[in-house]
Structure 1
Amino acid sequence: MPASSPAPFKRYRLLTGPDDAAFCQRVSTLLDQGFELHGSPALTYDPVRQCVIAAQAIIWPADRPAPQPQNG
């Protein structure tokens, strides 16, 4: 049976946003849930918003079953 990522997530995601604490927290939260980094981050400057935009790919490993929902 193939592994599946936790709902509603896909096995591959590309996270993007301003390179700030909120972006780092989004990545960290997904890593804590079991996703893994895929490749290196990318950065670019948005002159309209006058900020650095970060991108980081994450994957859900194919050999890892999705976590079971917690009752509580």
Structure 2
Amino acid sequence: MKLYRFLSEEDTSAFCHKVTDALNKGWELHGSPTQTWDHAAGVMRCGQAVVKEAPGTYTPDTKLGAH
């Protein structure tokens, strides 16, 4: 099955660590990163889509973070 996740976080090293962790677990970058201003929180937010090929069959109960 092909899995998709969208990772997001404030624009700090925490975002880079989140993406690095996913890459080290076999996820691959999908597209370009994005960045936007969060008016409510007053911070920049970053996002990055990642994809991964995994065994099994997808269901809505699939725990994406467990792969």
TM over 0.5: yes
The unaligned stretches of length 5 or more in structure 2 are 56-67
Aligned residues: 56
Q: Which has the higher helix share?
A: 2
**What stretches of structure 1 move > 3 A for 4+ residues in a row?**
none
The unaligned stretches of length 5 or more in structure 1 are 5-10, 66-72
- Return the match for 1:35 from 24, 27, 30: 27
How much has 1:55 moved relative to structure 2? Answer: 0.9
- Return the match for 1:60 from 49, 52, 56: 52
Tell me how far apart the structure 1 counterparts of residues 10 and 31 of structure 2 sit (CA, whole Å): 19
* Mapping 1:1-72, distance limit 5 Å: 3=1, 11-61=3-53
Please, what TM-score do these two structures have when normalized by structure 2? 0.71
For the residue of structure 2 that corresponds to 1:26, the secondary structure is helix
Task: Report percent identity of matched pairs.
Answer: 38
Please, what TM-score do these two structures have when normalized by structure 1? 0.67
